[in-house]
Structure 1
Amino acid sequence: MLRSNAAEVDDGPALGLIVNPVAGMGGSVGLKGTDGLHILRDARRRGAQPTAGTRARSALTRLASTTNPMRVLTGSGAMGEDDCLAAGFDPVVIHRHQPGNPTAADTRALASALASRPVDLLLFVGGDGTARDVLAAVGDRVPLLGVPAGVKMHSAVFGTSPRNAGQLARLYLSRSPAAPLREAEVMDLDEAAFRDDRVLARLYGYARSPYERHLAQNAKAGSRAGEDASVTAAAQQVVAHMRPECLYLLGPGTTTRRVANALGVPSTLLGVDAVLDGKSVGLDLDEQSLLRLAAGHETYIVVGILGGQGSLFGRGNQQLSPAVIRTAGLDRIIVISSIEKLIALNAAALRVDTGDDELDAQLSGYIRIVTGPDRSTVFKIQA
């Protein structure tokens, strides 16, 4: 039985936990992130709901399945205490935030407090912004591992899903040789530029982080030389087979933008756009707008693959929510990729992390990917 208690006994490893409870709230409502109080207010005004706590509990439940005793040190309330209690842990609270939502300053303060204690691993729940705050406070004093819960997760410190992050933490804390430490990139995007359809990425440093190739994600990789012609041809192939009176939802990214270019319609690089009968019917749409459009049409989802990570859903395209995917249907997902991008994955499976375990399981299996004119390949999807 796992346990931790206020006496901070020294039996077994110690886990530090930080939860950013507002992480990811901007995703489904099309806000590209939740950095800043004004963005959080806007997300709530649009009907966004918190999801970080659910993701924290998913990771902690997997971690709690170990039989080894463990101490958990965390922050009060929504910063970790509530989720620990829900997962069956009895945490030691070492930081209390002011009434209201915890801020980035609380994240940094809790991270500093945890780094000053003998913790073996700092598990944080959030996105790239949270990873950046934690790294700034901790440096290389303690290994870090992220539970993916944000909108932007381009850094290499995250598990491929909440459950896999919990499993990876479990392996590392049990001192398994299957989960050694590596130097993992911590990256973040400028959210203001991101909302203005520009990608300005910056490397903030490297963290020591547990790694197992099936459980940890890699940093996002850019396009490779020679990909442009094949991806453009693949996009033209998709356009050639578009059906009349059907709605096509074009996911974010340069790959799917080529579909819009082939149609000659406007598009947003980092949003989800909609096309009907060769014409644009919506730009940078949120989940509810997508559902309203899809309600009256046979709907197809067109997505690319996140380079380096192999992600299809759950990284930067949360507007394509489980509800949107189910409305379209699992057999109406069109994937476009260059063959070079697939080869660079080193035969690893594609990833889905929609936040809905049942849907992720249904998406798992094999999917056909359009790679060029009259060319396609079949690749495995693994939740």
Structure 2
Amino acid sequence: MSMFHLGLIINPLAGLGGPAGLKGSDGVAEQALALGSEPRAALRTRTALECLRPVQQRLEFLTFPGPMGADLLSEMGFAYRLLGELDDGPTSAADTRGAVAALQEAGVALILFAGGDGTARDVCAVVREDQPVLGIPAGVKIHSGVYAISPRAAGELTRRLVEGGLVRLASGEVRDLDEAALREGKVAARWYGELCVPEEGGYVQQVKQAGVESEELVLSDLAAWLEDSWEADVRYIFGPGSTLHGLAQNLGLQTTLLGVDVIENGQVIAHDVNEAQLYELVADYPARLLVTAIGGQGHILGRGNQQISPRVLRAVGLDHLRVVATKRKLGTLQGRPLLVDSGDVELDDTFPDVVRVWAGYKEELLYPLSR
């Protein structure tokens, strides 16, 4: 059983200013402590992590020393690995930003962070556009749309992801109030950016007829999205299977049902290619790879598409791999992860714990992946 890697960042100072009536904690943590406020971020994070007890054996956290994560994880008995060190004294915004950068570099499936709007701003300042994050609400100001509605909700949503439930990706706004102005009775909010956050994904699309997902309509939606986002002079590899074949038909393209085809600038430039032909087409050319899952089984690589070899995957780059699957097809897996078996164990080990699945028009899901 492969491990699921989660990043954890706790802002130990988050929420201190609330009980002290300071309208926030930015820059006033020492004052709040002097007024008798007690740290609450770890307690809020504990509530979230308690929801992960049923999947504890499948998890490894990547976190930071002391109050930024290690103390709580050690106390609760979760497996974790430390990244970096902390200086003596209170933690800072720079510590949060450095932690986000380190977790991204480590390739975690999801970054959980406990804090408030100031913490969300620090995360937003350095996080990549495609890195999923989720806030555990622990601050005074929680105006940003990147936090779960409660610590328990953050834990339940994370558990759903680990268990293979359908979790949709969305953009959440990062907003923060000017605390100095707020303390003078003025409300001045500012938009700082957006983060990629998971939401609970339903098995049924709300826009489909009679509450039942129609595969034909989904493929039409996906074709419209792809048509809107074609990149010029980029070669798109379409793997085998009825899902991608149907997607191509909706684009007015004739592809091979059980073969691999290459499309460039809206035209099929190579039909039913073998491994050598495919490698020659993408070795020195920007490319994107679309594959689908075998229904009920879950393999996305290594079953029926061996033309997509390890050297082809390295040439394209795992960042340019997208899985295309309807929610109905994912539902046939009953929570089991998607699978890769490229024939190269070293390469398989570099795949992320979760992959993005295109499931509808501008609708991406996060789904677990196993090797």
Does structure 2 conserve the Cα–Cα contact (< 8 Å) formed by 1:84 and 1:91?
yes
Bigger radius of gyration: 2
Matched, 1:181 2:169: yes
> In 2 relative to 1, CA 44–67 (structure 1 residues): closer, same or farther, beyond 3 Å?
closer
* Structure 2 residue 100 is the aligned partner of structure 1 residue 111: yes
Deviations 1:49-83 (A, max 9, x none): 11111111111111232266112100101000011
Which of 120, 132, 145 lines up with 1:143 in the alignment? 132
* Separation (CA, whole Å) in 2 of partners of 1:189 and 1:213: 30
CA–CA distance in 1 between the matches of 2:49 and 2:189?
Answer: 30
Tell me the distance in 1 between the aligned counterparts of 2:64 and 2:118.
18
Q: Distance in 1 between matches of 2:56 and 2:87?
A: 35
Which residue, out of 145, 160, 164, partners 1:156? 145
Deviation at 1:159, TM superposition (A): 1.0
| Equivalent residue letter for 1:185 | E
- C-alpha distance in 1, partners of 2:201/2:41? 24
**Does structure 2 conserve the Cα–Cα contact (< 8 Å) formed by 1:127 and 1:151?**
yes
Unaligned 5+ residue runs, structure 2?
Answer: 203-371
> Deviations along 1:207-249, whole A, 9 cap, x unmatched?
11011399xxxxxxxxxxxxxxxxxxxxxxxxxxxxxxxxxxx
Residue identity matched to 2:59? M
**TM-score, normalised relative to structure 2:** 0.52
Number of residues of Structure 1 aligned to a counterpart in Structure 2 = 202
Matches within 5 A, 1:197-276: 197-212=185-200
Which residue does the alignment assign to 2:17? 26
The answer as to whether partners of 1:14 and 1:70 remain within 8 angstroms in 2 is: yes
| Structure-1-length-normalised TM-score | 0.51
Distance of 2:154 and 2:37 partners within structure 1: 24
Coordinate RMSD, CA, aligned:
1.7
Q: Secondary structure of 2:135's match?
A: strand
Hey, what does 2:75 align to over in structure 1? Answer: 86
Following TM superposition, the consecutive aligned residue runs of length 4 or more in structure 1 with deviations greater than 6 angstroms are none
Question: How do residues 1-383 of structure 1 correspond to structure 2 at under 5 angstroms?
Answer: 11-36=2-27, 39-66=28-55, 69-177=58-166, 179-212=167-200
Helix, strand or coil for the counterpart of 1:65? Answer: helix
Q: Is the 8 A contact 1:172 1:180 kept in 2?
A: no
Deviations 1:149-178 (A, max 9, x none): 00000011111111111111111233311x
Q: Is the 8 A contact 1:73 1:93 kept in 2?
A: yes
Give the Å deviation of 1:101. Answer: 1.8
Which residue in 2 is equivalent to 1:293? none
Q: CA separation of 1:164/1:44 partners in 2, compared to 1, >3 Å: closer, same or farther?
A: same
Tell me the SS of whatever aligns to 2:103.
Answer: helix
Distance 1:64 1:125 in 2: 18
The answer (yes or no) to whether the contact 1:57–1:86 under 8 Å persists in 2 is no
Task: Say if 2:42 and 2:67, in contact at 8 Å, map to a contact too.
Answer: yes
